[in-house]
Amino acid sequence: MKVAVPKESEPGEKRVALVPDTAKTLIAAGLEVSVEHDAGTSAYLADEAYEKAGVKVEDRAGTMLHYADAVLKVQAPRESEISLLKKGAVLISFLQPATQGDIVRSLAQHGITSFSLELLPRISRAQSMDALSSQASASGYKAVLMAADRLGKFFPMMMTAAGTVAPARVLVMGAGVAGLQAIATARRLGAVVSAYDVRPAVKEEVQSLGATFIELPLETQEGEGGYAREQSEEFLSKQRELIGEHVAKSDVVITTAAVPGRRAPLLVTKDMVKGMRPGSVIVDLAAETGGNVELTQAGKDVDVGGVTILGTRNVPSTMALHTSQLYARNVANLLLNMVKNGALHLDFSDEITKGSCVTHGGEIVSDRAKQLLGAAS
Ligand code: NAD
């Protein structure tokens, strides 16, 4: 079975879907692995490191993709890559089925068996394959460092001969995987942290990290599978009204709120930003899915009366070495779950295979992807 890893073509994407250490695991399982020349360079992984691990480094992706039985990528493939793949090949990557309708349809038309990491069921057995979590965790960590770098204040309380400095106040909105990692990181830096989520189930986790859980007199918005459900405009407007005073008191606000397959909910309005003290910083981790903050511009830093809003895109790519390492393990574990005695063995009675498969045998087979595509169009 041949596994191919092309260099990512999305501008700004520095991660690679397979690192040399993980390639060794695939090779030990009887697979033949090739990577495109320079595939790992932007993640500080040289071609020689892959060769040392037993990987074949190919000058160009074309032939390698054409003969591959499985292709591993970070970002969804482009049309030009899909047309190179052979019918029946397996593709594993982030596919963003909600926004990549054309790509998903093209994968089906080309007879590719594609798996979207966004659709992986969040069951215990799939935790080691959960790339959404590994990458969200990295984003939550980095969001705090970005905020600390831009804040004109210290995070910890400091007692100096020149006087005592109060600790920074950090508010984390959305306490899922990214939010919890942001809370832990901000606490490690010594900030006073509070957090809010529409799922009260996270209260204990927030508190166990040493942060205060903000409870608002609103009904819970717990949806399926531990995720939040889509909220009404009426709910969100009440939420903004109630959370306003907490935002105004904060030096740093980190927003991570998301509802799978939907535009990110609007949590912080223009007026709420204007109510913050100059010098404060907002990091909007939902920038790429519409933003949790009204004034966020994806990929840009915005200054609103001295308040900085960071809408950095693709935060995991800014730590490409570690995020590639984690991603590679996630992807390799998912692939190996579909391999028996060195050959592809697709078992659609396996919840993991069935849940994450988007296209197979010329069709879009995932109900969830169909739903997301329907909602998007
Ligand atoms: P996500 O990225 O979809 O959303 C981030 C957070 O935003 C969620 O906690 C959500 O409740 C919150 N949110 C949505 N709307 C909001 C609003 N209006 N205001 C404030 N917060 C809002 O979620 P995620 O981080 O991927 O994780 C969701 C859940 O899945 C968590 O409970 C997590 O622990 C769980 N999970 C389980 C597994 C597993 O293997 N069992 C693995 C990973 C995650």
Confidence of residue 119 (pLDDT cuts 50, 70, 90): very high
Cα-based angle 57, 60, 65 (whole degrees, multiple of 5) = 85
303 given a catalytic annotation? no
Residue 160: is it exposed, middle or buried by C-beta count within 10 angstroms (0-12/13-18/19+)? exposed
Catalytic residue among 15, 34, 130, 181: 130
Average the pLDDT over 82-97 and give the result. Answer: 96
Phi-psi region of 132 (alpha: psi -120 to 50; beta: other; left: phi over 0): alpha
Side-chain-side CA neighbours of residue 171 (13 Å): 23
Distance in Å, CA 313 to ligand 1 centroid = 19
Question: Quick check: 262 pLDDT over 90?
Answer: no
Distance in Å, CA 196 to ligand 1 centroid = 12
Catalytic residue among 122, 150, 262, 313: 122
Question: Quick check: 45 pLDDT over 80?
Answer: yes
Question: Quick check: 373 pLDDT over 80?
Answer: no
Question: Quick check: 334 pLDDT over 80?
Answer: yes
Question: Quick check: 226 pLDDT over 80?
Answer: no
Question: Quick check: 98 pLDDT over 90?
Answer: no
Averaged pLDDT score across all residues of the chain: 95
pLDDT of amino acid 99: 82
133 given a catalytic annotation? yes
Confidence of residue 192 (pLDDT cuts 50, 70, 90): very high
Question: Quick check: 174 pLDDT over 90?
Answer: yes
Q: Poorest-confidence range of 52-66, 218-232, 282-296, 336-350?
A: 218-232
18 CB contacts (<8 Å, ≥6 apart)? Answer: 3, 5, 26, 33, 35, 39, 72, 328, 331, 332
Average the pLDDT over 64-71 and give the result. Answer: 97
**Which tokens is 154 given?**
């210290």
Phi-psi region of 212 (alpha: psi -120 to 50; beta: other; left: phi over 0): beta
Q: How far apart are CA 111 and CA 262, in angstroms?
A: 28
199 CB contacts (<8 Å, ≥6 apart)? Answer: 175, 220, 221, 222, 226, 228
Distance in Å, CA 228 to ligand 1 centroid = 6
Please state, for a pLDDT cut of 90, what percent of the chain lies above it: 88
Confidence of residue 377 (pLDDT cuts 50, 70, 90): low
130 given a catalytic annotation? yes
pLDDT in tens, 298-318: 999 999 999 999 999 999 999
Confidence of residue 186 (pLDDT cuts 50, 70, 90): very high
127 given a catalytic annotation? yes
Average the pLDDT over 82-96 and give the result. Answer: 96
- Are the C-beta atoms of residues 366 and 175 closer than 8 Å to each other? no
Confidence of residue 198 (pLDDT cuts 50, 70, 90): very high
- How many whole angstroms from its chain centre is CA 356? 16
Q: What is the DSSP string of 190-206?
A: T-EEEEE-S-GGGHHHH
Provide residues with CB under 6 Å of ligand 1. 122, 124, 127, 130, 132-133, 136, 173-179, 196-199, 226-228, 231, 239, 256-260, 265, 267
109 given a catalytic annotation? no
Q: How far apart are CA 216 and CA 219, in angstroms?
A: 9
pLDDT in tens, 121-169: 999 999 999 999 999 999 999 999 999 999 999 999 999 999 999 999 9
What is the best residue among 133, 205, 224 to mutate for testing ligand 1's pocket, by most ligand atoms within 8 Å of CB?
133
The minimum-distance atom of ligand 1 relative to the CA of 258 is 4
Distance in Å, CA 279 to ligand 1 centroid = 29
Give the pTM: 0.95
Pairing state between β 163-165 and 158-160: antiparallel
pLDDT of amino acid 12: 95
**Which tokens is 158 given?**
């400091």
What is the best residue among 137, 198, 205, 233 to mutate for testing ligand 1's pocket, by most ligand atoms within 8 Å of CB?
198
83 CB contacts (<8 Å, ≥6 apart)? Answer: 110
pLDDT of amino acid 376: 62
Confidence of residue 225 (pLDDT cuts 50, 70, 90): confident
Distance in Å, CA 159 to ligand 1 centroid = 37
Confidence of residue 219 (pLDDT cuts 50, 70, 90): confident
Terminal Cα-to-Cα distance of the chain (whole angstroms):
37
Nearest CA to ligand 1 atom 13: 257
Q: Poorest-confidence range of 51-60, 292-301, 366-375?
A: 366-375
Question: Quick check: 372 pLDDT over 80?
Answer: no
Helices 101-109 and 367-376 cross at an angle (nearest 10°) of 140
